[in-house]
Amino acid sequence: MIINLTKNIKVVRPEAKAVFPYSNSIYIDDDVKTVIDAGAGGRAYSDIQVEKVNLVLLSHNHFDHVNGVCFFKNAKIMAGKEEEDTYSDAHTYRKYLGITEWQNLMGDVNRKKLVRNIALPDDIPVNYGFNSVKLDGVFADGDKFDLGQIRVTAVHTPGHSEGHYAFFFEKEGILFSGDIDLAPCGPWYGASSSDVGELIESVKKLMAIKPKILVTSHRRVFDSRDHDIQKLFQQYLDIILKKEEKMLGYLSEPRTIDEISRQEFARSSAEKAPYASFWNKMMVAKHLQRLKRMGLVRELENNYYVKAEDRP
């Protein structure tokens, strides 16, 4: 489905819900025909002339954003410089995601259970996992792309991943925020390259832009005439901060990551499958890293953590 934001800037919505393995794309119909992110699925891209797309910009290297790169056979592919190596090297990709932490957090549970036990839809052209993508170039924070009538700026927004980018159309006041998606359950930051503190700063960075229209990877279009976008961003931030507050309260006694991750406040998903448990533990670990840096939590022997003021 195509949603026209302006004459030239359009949202490409998946035929199904814009959740894994799908995500929204932006299509710029200009002299340089451009797509931002490639996870809307083959049926969605049938609404545009994929063979005429000149440029694909990738917000970050997660499967639901890159799985459709092969549809754009005549396009140059570019991604953020911070994640360049993850597109070409399988080990770097697995380390970037955090799959290499499976043994530490899940013990003897078979790592194959990290993969969801579902069949991908038939308009997703590749299997889940590492898929090599040949990049034609990389971009950095503040880089501008002149596409004809339209100019778009790459905005580095790390936290969800090391090289996560948003894209801002300044003249039109349109912001594509990628996986800073205002999900009611809050942000996801379970990869090795994720960082809670950086994510908080990235949300603040996008708030400072004060977009008129906000498009995210997995939700609907937010128009400032109908939605208080600043309030939505703040509510999104508050989910992180409230989780940390409750975590600190729980750490009045020494706890392990396993114990913390089983608490209701720490759950990022109601699912109990091994892959969901793993990503949840990764997110707990990210909070503990931040709280240790802030001097609010101490790590004890045998992988226990405690609130700093409650133990000498």
Element (H, E) at 237: helix 229-250
| Structure-token match 């720490």, residue found | 266
What tens digit of pLDDT does each residue of 223-263 get? 999 999 999 999 999 999 999 999 999 999 999 999 999 99
Q: Are residues 275 and 197 in the same domain?
A: no
Last residue of a domain, one of 179, 210, 236: 236
| Domain assignment of residue 242, yes or no | no
pLDDT band at 275 (very low <50, low <70, confident <90, very high): confident
Which of 206, 216, 238 has the alpha carbon at shortest distance from 11?
216
Read off φ and ψ for residue 85, nearest 5 degrees. -70, -20
What tens digit of pLDDT does each residue of 168-215 get? 999 999 999 999 999 999 999 999 999 999 999 999 999 999 999 999
**For position 264, which CATH number holds?**
1.10.10
Cα(181)–Cα(203) distance, integer angstroms: 10
Number of domains in the chain: 2
Domain of residue 130 covers 2-236
**For position 173, which CATH number holds?**
3.60.15.10
Q: Are residues 75 and 172 in the same domain?
A: yes
What tens digit of pLDDT does each residue of 112-168 get? 655 555 679 999 999 998 999 999 999 999 999 999 999 999 999 999 999 999 999
Q: Are residues 141 and 32 in the same domain?
A: yes
pLDDT band at 312 (very low <50, low <70, confident <90, very high): very low
Last residue of a domain, one of 236, 263, 289: 236
What tens digit of pLDDT does each residue of 35-56 get? 999 999 999 999 999 999 999 9
According to the model, what pLDDT value does residue 311 have? 47
According to the model, what pLDDT value does residue 270 have? 67
